[in-house]
Structure 1
């Protein structure tokens, strides 16, 4: 039991940067954005990461852990590698997709931390 407590303390000190993450809302309401297949939700997750103060640490930790998929540190991981863009299956669309602004998409008021 004592060794388990020591491991948790080591993990907590090593990943102390996670406390400052913009995606951390303590109830997991934004988790679906960071592990979505929808292009717009992926773009929103990247926008949230774009102004996060710990995005570099998040990306480095995800790379070290070989994360299989999801948005980590503002980058999309698929099969353990960083993907520049997520492409749909099949033929390309006839009309181009609308470009999202680089600024952060506003969060609903009930998700905003003080």
Structure 2
């Protein structure tokens, strides 16, 4: 089934609830994992992150399909704790389920302490 012309833009928000520690100003639902936390295999917190992402991808897969997404916002927590591969897998799940509109906007919250030049280039 095609979507009518002029269909309003569609957006997706992906909540990544993990962070190193809860900031004093934060009112969001987060799971502090500690200063050494990372999504890298074997790192503190990596199993929690991987399990959550698996569930998130399953939820995306069964969500009702719709028109292509024009905006994707990845917030949290600290989404920059995700590895480049994990972020790609999430975006691929969205692309497969909904598609991404030409020129779609992607926003990702970053913590300067959780990424470097190599990771930034991968994002």
Q: How high is the TM-score relative to the length of structure 2? A: 0.29
More strand by share: 2
TM-score, normalised with respect to structure 1: 0.30
Bigger proportion of residues as helix: 1
Higher Cα Rg, which structure: 1
